[in-house]
Amino acid sequence: MPSATDPPALWIAGAGGVGREALDTALAAGVPVAGFLDDRQHGATFRGLPVRRPADLGPADLGPGTRYLVGIADPAVRQRLSALLDGLGAEPFTLVHPRALIAPDTLLGPGCLVMGGAYVSSSVRLGAHSQVHYNATVGHDTVFGERVTVYPGGNVSGAVLLADGATVGSNAVVLQGRRIGAGAFVGAAAVVTRDVAPGEVVAGSPARPLRRA
Structure confidence at residue 213 as a pLDDT band (50, 70, 90) = low
Task: Supply the CATH number for residue 162's domain.
Answer: 2.160.10.10
Q: Write out the DSSP string of the chain.
A: ---TTSPPPEEEE--SHHHHHHHHHHHHHT--EEEEE-SSSTT-EETTEEEE-GGG--TTTS-TT-EEEE--S-HHHHHHHHHHHHHTT-EE--EE-TTSEE-TT-EE-TT-EE-TT-EE-TT-EE-TT-EE-TT-EE-TT-EE-TT-EE-TT-EE-TT-EE-TT-EE-TT-EE-TT-EE-TT-EEPTT-EE-S-B-TTEEEETTTTEEEEE-
Global pTM?
0.93
Whole-number pLDDT of residue 54: 83
| pLDDT over 60 (residue 4) | no
Average pLDDT on 80-106 reads: 94
pLDDT above 70: percentage of residues in the chain: 93
* Active-site amino acid positions: 140
Q: What residue numbers bound the domain in which 137 lies? A: 96-197
CA distance 179 to 195: 5
Q: Is position 80 within any domain?
A: yes
Last residue of a domain, one of 66, 93, 120: 93
Whole-number pLDDT of residue 64: 66
Lowest mean pLDDT among 42-46, 94-98, 160-164: 42-46
The answer to whether the beta carbons of residues 129 and 82 sit under 8 Å apart is yes
Number of domains in the chain: 2
Task: Supply the CATH number for residue 79's domain.
Answer: 3.40.50.20
Judgement on whether residues 88 and 104 belong to the same structural domain of the protein: no
Last residue of a domain, one of 68, 93, 118: 93
Q: Is position 213 within any domain?
A: no
Q: Please give the residue that has the higher pLDDT: either 4 or 6.
A: 6
Judgement on whether residues 74 and 131 belong to the same structural domain of the protein: no
Judgement on whether residues 86 and 105 belong to the same structural domain of the protein: no
pLDDT, one tens digit per residue, over 170-207 is 999 999 999 999 999 999 999 999 999 999 999 999 99
Last residue of a domain, one of 93, 119, 154: 93
Whole-number pLDDT of residue 2: 44
| pLDDT over 90 (residue 42) | no
